[in-house]
Amino acid sequence: MKESYLKTELYNLVNNDTSIFEFIQSGSLDGIWYWDLENPENEWMSSKFWEILGYNPDKKTPCK
């Protein structure tokens, strides 16, 4: 199946300008979680995602 040209365009923009990723992340109401299914040890969660789960995003420990 052919990749959508919009997906390709977004990937190229994010690769060339990190401020675009920061903009997308700031607009996400639920946070962003990346998990590489082929290499499950590669995982990343935005600060908002940690907060939704009830954790302090700086320390990755439960909020009290």
More confident residue, 12 or 3: 12
Delimit the domains of the chain by residue range: 5-62
Q: Identify the DSSP state of 40.
A: T
pLDDT band at 58 (very low <50, low <70, confident <90, very high): confident
Question: What integer best gives the mean pLDDT of the chain?
Answer: 82
Q: Are 22 and 34 in contact (CB under 8 A)?
A: no
- The sign one gets for the Cα dihedral 25, 28, 29, 35 is negative
pTM of the model: 0.51
Q: Are 31 and 47 in contact (CB under 8 A)?
A: yes
Q: pLDDT, tens digit, for every residue of 9-28?
A: 888 888 999 898 888 878 77
